[in-house]
Amino acid sequence: MRVLGISTSPRLEGNSDLLLRRALGGAESAGTRVEYVRLGDFKIAPCIECNACYTTGVCTVKDDYQGLLQRMLDADRLIFATPVFFMSVCAQAKTLIDRGQCLWAHKYILKRPPIAGRADRRAMVIAAGGSKGTKQFESIRLTMKVYFDALDVCYAANLFVNQVDEAGEIEKHASAMNEAFRLGDELACSDSDPPKKPVTVELF
């Protein structure tokens, strides 16, 4: 079992980043091999909408995307962490997601077999935002649902935490850190059938 965690936050050790590290700790405690990736360490350009992938199923923009995509496809479990910016995922996360147009083309235009080539891959989303409002996570749910569908991975769980803004503030939120560890452990070791909809923990 391989678990890949992707931190999309522009802040090193920001709140979503720290929650991700805690979730990976939970996955590792279950005996799985975990890998942490910070998206800011990769050079990934925006989608240029050339539509070449409608013919090939492959993105023609050459940068670090191809290597990261392969790591995502090789993982049995994926944990995607993002801060909330303007009621949605951060710009770094959206750039990665938009490059997934080639995945959508592979699946829905070219109608090719699942790109990962195996079943029962599952994913979890971690999102942390500073607003007191709860609607800040609605766009994230929809965006990640569509993205995970293109990746042929089951959307299994969410951890949403609001009213955390200052870097590292989440470490004072014991219940959030505990839930991240628990959900990471459950994501890694679950042998039950994939859920029909994501299990969601909201700490408001």
User: How high is the mean pLDDT of the chain?
Assistant: 95
Please return the burial class of 67, using the count of CB atoms within 10 Å of its CB with bins 0-12, 13-18 and 19+. Answer: exposed
User: Where exactly are the structural domains of the chain?
Assistant: 2-203
**How many whole angstroms separate alpha carbon 134 and alpha carbon 161?**
9
Share of the chain above pLDDT 90, in %: 87
pTM for the predicted model, two decimal places: 0.95
Q: What is the pLDDT of residue 204?
A: 86
**74-104 residue pLDDT tens:** 999 999 999 999 999 999 999 999 999 999 9
CATH tag, 2-203: 3.40.50.360
**28-79 residue pLDDT tens:** 999 999 999 999 999 999 999 999 999 999 999 999 999 999 999 999 999 9
